[in-house]
Chains A and B, each alone.
Chain A
Amino acid sequence: MSEVEKVTVVTEDARPRLPRGVRLVHNEAQGGFVLLAPERVFKADAIAAEILKRCTGEATVAAIVDDLAKTFTAPRELILTDVTKLLGSLADKRLLEL
């Protein structure tokens, strides 16, 4: 996903979720996951899709990062950086609630 300089601070105890009007869908014709938003469409790469699937409003950022680190056997610090960067940028665009 394209990124803008983020101003929204993402804390580990936040429970991110997609607001009404923002949906993650898989679409063959478009070649993968896309995030549908008010009059905008964002292609979500594989990493972004894995993060967004976990933004249910129930899991905390900490739990999402733990889960991703375990699932993909990757260093937690690295995942945390990726996750907060993506979520902060999406929140800036009003595509995510924290």
Chain B
Amino acid sequence: MLAPAEKLPTPLGLLAELTHRCPLGCPYCSNPLKLDPRADELDTATWARVFREAAALGVLQVHLSGGEPAARRDLVEITAAARAAGLYANLITSAVGLTEKTLDALADAGLDHVQISIQDSLAASADRIAGYDGAFARKRALAAHVVHLKLPLTVNAVIHRANIERVGDLVELALALGAGRVEIAHVQYYGWALENRAALMPTAEQVKRAVGEVEALRERHRGRIVIDAVVPDYHARYPKPCVGGWGRRSLNVTPAGRVLPCHAAETIPGLEFWSVRDHSLADIWASSPAFRAFRGTDWMQEPCASCPRRHEDFGGCRCQAFALTGDARATDPVCHLSPRHAIVEQLAGVRTEADYVYRR
């Protein structure tokens, strides 16, 4: 040993991307541009093993996601396996392709919570954003069934220029649907969202108004609905503590079984990812080169390396640093202390009226 190793952190959450298949085409999707094909997807038994290994590692919650997780015919078995491993099972769904009958079976299998994405409070706009006629009506109907089953419901609303004027309406809609929690998630520019950045980018004025509105709504609805916000980081002074710090709180398993520190990590060239097909999750968490690359603070350059906030925001997001500066070890340029901050200010002003590139 060259230096005393820092105590290995214990992860809290596992994002299980069960499939990249999805009926919707949302232009802000965080999935990679190159999707894992169906033939490469992990089978039921492997997911069950991954969940047992995750629980043994200290993971408490599994987020069953995708793509659209209901595109998997074994979703009920997978959910039951998560509960059998002792994990809190959270379903993150578009609601399209998830039948009421399947939802009944998922509730019986022990599903703990359902998150449904809603694209807008106006049906026509919501369906246009999703690239799927009738999606909005389907989502409302399934949300009602979640509440009927007495399962807790979160509404997730990704916010961008086409719906940012209606954050208040989206919170009201979540309340009307019976959600206990709503995420007002300003779009983060990765994957398809990065591709569509100029078409999604709101104005600084719109962002300011929306953030203020959400603060007021949170106070007004305290005790009725929990409002969680994902901040519009291109308009922020400091970067977000991306995934709570690299290799610190969570891991992400792709449909084909590669284990990533975050969903966009594969955009950083030169990182070596290990697969659950070849290694145990504990081994990957502790030793895979990708997880070790940016864990802790030793990798940092200035101004991060001596920054008093380095243990709070961990230098921001590595994928964003790479996407915007070409250097994954750089300070996330969202930070006003970054010497490259002007890039973000410039990009935040670039807008186009051109059509979305839908995720397909």
A binds B: yes
- Residues of A whose CB lies within 8 Å of any CB of B are 4, 7-8, 19-23, 25, 27, 29-30, 34, 36, 38-39, 41, 91-94
Pick 15 A–B contacts, CB within 8 A, sort by A.
Answer: A20-B112, A21-B112, A21-B113, A27-B58, A30-B60, A36-B61, A38-B113, A38-B180, A38-B181, A39-B113, A39-B181, A41-B13, A41-B60, A41-B61, A94-B152
Given the known A-B contacts A7-B222, A21-B112, A23-B112, are A29 and B152 also in contact in the complex, defined by CB atoms under 8 Å? no
Q: Is B57 an interface residue (CB 8 A)?
A: yes
Q: For window 136-176 of chain B, which residues contact chain A by CB distance below 8 Å? A: 150-152, 154
- Residues of B whose CB lies within 8 Å of any CB of A are 10, 12-13, 57-58, 60-61, 63, 86, 88, 90, 112-113, 115, 150-152, 154, 180-181, 222-223, 225-226, 228
How many interface contacts (CB-CB < 8 Å) are there between A and B?
A: 62
Contact A34 B60 (CB under 8 A): yes
Contact A7 B223 (CB under 8 A): yes
Question: What residues of chain B lie closer than 8 Å to A23, measured between beta carbons?
Answer: 88, 112
Contact B225 A39 (CB under 8 A): no
* Complexed CA–CA distance, A64 and B88 (Å): 27
| Cross-interface CB contact of B152 among A4, A27, A38, cutoff 8 Å | A38
Contact B112 A29 (CB under 8 A): no
Give the one of A4, A20, A92 with max B CB within 10 A. Answer: A20
* Complexed CA–CA distance, A4 and B222 (Å): 10
Question: What residues of chain A lie closer than 8 Å to B225, measured between beta carbons?
Answer: 94
Contact A29 B57 (CB under 8 A): yes
* Complexed CA–CA distance, A30 and B86 (Å): 14
Q: Which residue of A lies closest to B225 (CB)?
A: A94
Given the known A-B contacts A19-B152, A29-B57, A41-B61, are A36 and B226 also in contact in the complex, defined by CB atoms under 8 Å? no
Contact A36 B223 (CB under 8 A): no
Contact A94 B226 (CB under 8 A): yes
* Complexed CA–CA distance, A98 and B180 (Å): 15
* Complexed CA–CA distance, A39 and B58 (Å): 16
Question: What residues of chain A lie closer than 8 Å to B90, measured between beta carbons?
Answer: 38-39
Contact A20 B152 (CB under 8 A): yes
* Complexed CA–CA distance, A94 and B115 (Å): 15
Question: What residues of chain B lie closer than 8 Å to A91, measured between beta carbons?
Answer: 223
* Complexed CA–CA distance, A36 and B222 (Å): 20
